[in-house]
């Protein structure tokens, strides 16, 4: 069993089955595209981001994290009308960061997950904002209150998403 150690505590590394690896991100993207039409408030959530963070922290492999994040992001980009790569780059950074942090910290409890999700949500938005504005030339406005409220909403939903992912993960 592959393990890493942080402050003397044993941190376990998990993996996901192939169906779960494929279907969970697809389901997240599907729900993200479908639910806001029926429940407008749902557009504040970013389910693919939560799945990216969930996979990255469970696998604790930066390489797997950045590739998973990149692929989920590109797939999400494909449904928008913006150039492909905006979400791809943002989620690549988040996937790498979350898995790297997952190696060093225990992210099994709800409190840590809550804070981790808020942090990576803001990172995701900052990276997206910079690329969208600097490289693509989209007119965007930054609003800290909006980002923080969205981050907290995503963190609350993230706790439940991570609990669901806990049921799917397998010990290596």
Partner 1 sequence: MESVLGRYRNLIVLVGVLFAQVLGLAVQVKRTSDSEPTRLIRVWAVGTIAPLEKALAWVQTSSSDLWHNYFYLRGVRAENRSLKAQLERMSLDQARMSQDADQARRLQALLSFKEQFISQTMAAQVIGASGSELSRSVYIDKGEKDHIKPDMAVITADGIVGKVLRVYRSTSQVLLINDQTSGVGALLDKTRVQGILRGTSAGEAVLEKVMSDETVPAGELVLTSGGDGVFPKGLLVGRVTRVSAGNDLFLNIHVRPAADLSKLEEVLVVTKIDERQTEPDQAGAARAVDILAERLPTVPAKVDTPEKDGVAPKTALPNTERAQAGTGQPGSNVKPKATPTTAVSGAAIGSSATNSDAATTPKPVSPKPVVPKSVAPETTDPKTVSPSAPPAEAQDSPN
Q: Compute the distance between CA of residue 66 and CA of residue 69 in angstroms, rounded to an integer.
A: 5
CB of 48 or CB of 54, closer to partner 1: 48
Q: List residues bridging with 5 in a β-sheet.
A: 10
Instruction: Report residue 81 as tokens.
Output: 């009308």
Size of the site for partner 1 (CB under 8 A): 47
Residue of the chain from 1, 5, 7, 37 that contacts partner 1 (CB under 8 A): 37
C-alpha gyration radius of the chain:
16
For 44-111, the DSSP string reads G--HHHHHHHHHHHHH--HHHHHHHHHHHHHHHHHHSSSPTTHHHHHHHHHHHHHHHHHHHS---SHH
Quick one: 131 or 161, whose CB is closer to partner 1?
131
Q: Give the residue with the Cβ less far from partner 1, 99 or 117.
A: 99
Lookup: tokens for 35: 């639910």
Backbone angles phi and psi of 14, in degrees to 5:
-115, 165
120: Cβ–Cβ under 8 A, 6 or more apart, which residues? 49, 53, 94, 97, 98
The two three-digit tokens of residue 124, written as one number: 């995701």
Site for partner 1 in 81-110 (CB under 8 A): 81-89, 92-93, 96, 100
User: Min. distance of Cβ 17 from partner 1 in angstroms?
Assistant: 20
Q: Rule CB under 8 A: which of 41-80 touch partner 1? A: 43-44, 48, 62-63, 66-67, 70, 74-76, 78-80
- What is the pattern of x (binds partner 1, CB under 8 A) and - over residues 143-162? --------------------
At its nearest, how many Å lie between partner 1 and the CB of residue 80? 4
Q: Binding residue for partner 1 (CB under 8 A) from 36, 108, 126, 147? A: 36
Residues that bind partner 1 (CB under 8 A): 26, 29-30, 32-34, 36-38, 40, 43-44, 48, 62-63, 66-67, 70, 74-76, 78-89, 92-93, 96, 100, 128, 131-132, 135-141
């Amino acid at each position: 069993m592959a393990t890493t150690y942080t402050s003397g505590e044993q941190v376990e590394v998990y993996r996901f089955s192939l169906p779960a690896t494929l279907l969970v991100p697809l389901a997240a993207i599907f729900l993200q595209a479908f639910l806001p039409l029926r429940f407008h408030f749902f557009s504040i959530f970013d389910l693919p981001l939560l799945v990216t963070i969930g996979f990255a922290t469970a696998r604790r492999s930066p390489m797997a994290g950045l590739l998973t994040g990149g692929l989920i992001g590109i797939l999400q980009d494909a449904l928008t009308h913006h150039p492909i790569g905006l979400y791809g780059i943002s989620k690549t950074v988040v996937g790498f960061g979350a898995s790297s942090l997952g190696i060093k910290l225990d992210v099994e409890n709800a409190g840590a997950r809550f804070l981790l999700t808020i942090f990576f949500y803001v990172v995701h938005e900052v990276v997206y904002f910079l690329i969208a504005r600097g490289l693509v030339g989209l007119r965007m406005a930054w609003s800290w209150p909006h980002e923080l409220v969205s981050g907290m909403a995503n963190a609350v939903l993230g706790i439940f998403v991570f609990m669901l992912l806990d049921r799917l993960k397998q010990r290596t």
